[in-house]
Structure 1
Amino acid sequence: MKKIIFLLALGMTIGFGASAQKKTGYINSRELLETMPEARKADSSLTKYGKELEDQLKAMAADAQNKFKAYQDGAKTMSDAVKEVKEKELTDLQNRIEEFRQGADEKMGKKREDLFKPILDKAQKAIKDVGSEGGYDYIFDGTQLLYAKESENIMPQVKAKLGIK
């Protein structure tokens, strides 16, 4: 009798353990973004925007360099008052260049966020949809995963959901 109760209890424990098993999947989100056409377009747009800012910065630096050279060339013939004014102009120009550089960094960050937020939201929605439709309890980003069975990679389903081949 004790054996029957023990076997029954053991069977129930094993049964509960099996039903409590969670379905997990994984995806490499970086790889997914690299395959999304809109991400490539956004990256290209961001690169172009960065180049425009860089060109403006180079033009400002060249102008500052020219003004500094002119100052050096004429410094011997300038009065102290004129030297002081020219030095202030050069200092102000250097400060504007530094402010532009900092502003450019902020603009690049804002532009990156503006361009990629809708793309990331779209990818996240597709991952959630595949997770819900596939009955997954958890989906991990594969870039941090050390091992996973290939059968649990949801990349093909998410690409299909996004219309990517």
Structure 2
Amino acid sequence: MKQLKTLITALVLFVGTQFAVAQTKVGHINVQELMTASPAMKAAEAQVKKLQETYDVEYKKMVQEYQTKLAQYEKESATVGDAVNQTRSQEMQDMGARIQKFQDNASKALQDKAIELQKPIMEKAQAAIHKVARAKGIQYVLDSTLGGGVILADGPDLMADVKKELGF
């Protein structure tokens, strides 16, 4: 008799769980594909590319100047004194450091500009995803981009109950 009660309880819990799961609506979207197709994102990428080309031109000028001086100093190194060679060596090191710093600053500036331009586009896309999902009664939206995750979670969150169960 006790086994029958246990079996009935397990069956009721199983059916209840299956019913609850059947009520949950899940959708998905490939956010990367959405962003790639966005005209606003294409315009943002064009702006970043134009800025990158500007930095590339300046970088190439700096490198050309460095190479020209290096060739000149190497050619003259045998005919000038050690003090001049040492000064020139330090000058070349400083110039190399300036080129490296320029490259680092340009990379950071490009990254910052890309984030600045992409952030409002991403926020607008996220708002649209939420609106469409809620209009369709979808509780969870998964990002089907490789490595994506949950975008919207309107279903029950078990975090508080699990923390309580674990004692924290």
TM-score, normalization by structure 1: 0.75
- Which string of whole-angstrom CA distances, capped at 9 and with x for unpartnered residues, describes residues 8-35 of structure 1? xx78974774355200101011111111
Matching residue of 1:18:
19
Structure 1 pair 16/95, CA: closer, same or farther in 2 (3 Å)?
closer
* Distance in 2 separating the partners of 1:73 and 1:18: 84
Superposition CA RMSD, Å: 2.4
Matching residue of 2:30:
28
Gapped regions of structure 1 (runs ≥ 5): 1-5, 146-165
Gapped regions of structure 2 (runs ≥ 5): 1-6, 148-168
User: What is the deviation of 1:55?
Assistant: 1.6
| Matched residues, number | 139
**Equivalent AA in structure 2 for residue 87 of structure 1:** S
Matching residue of 1:156:
none
TM-score, normalization by structure 2: 0.73
- Which string of whole-angstrom CA distances, capped at 9 and with x for unpartnered residues, describes residues 106-138 of structure 1? 112111111111111111111011111111110
Matching residue of 1:38:
40
Runs of 4+ in structure 1 deviating by more than 3 angstroms, as ranges, are 10-17
Matching residue of 2:63:
61
- Which string of whole-angstrom CA distances, capped at 9 and with x for unpartnered residues, describes residues 37-68 of structure 1? 10000111111111211221111110000010
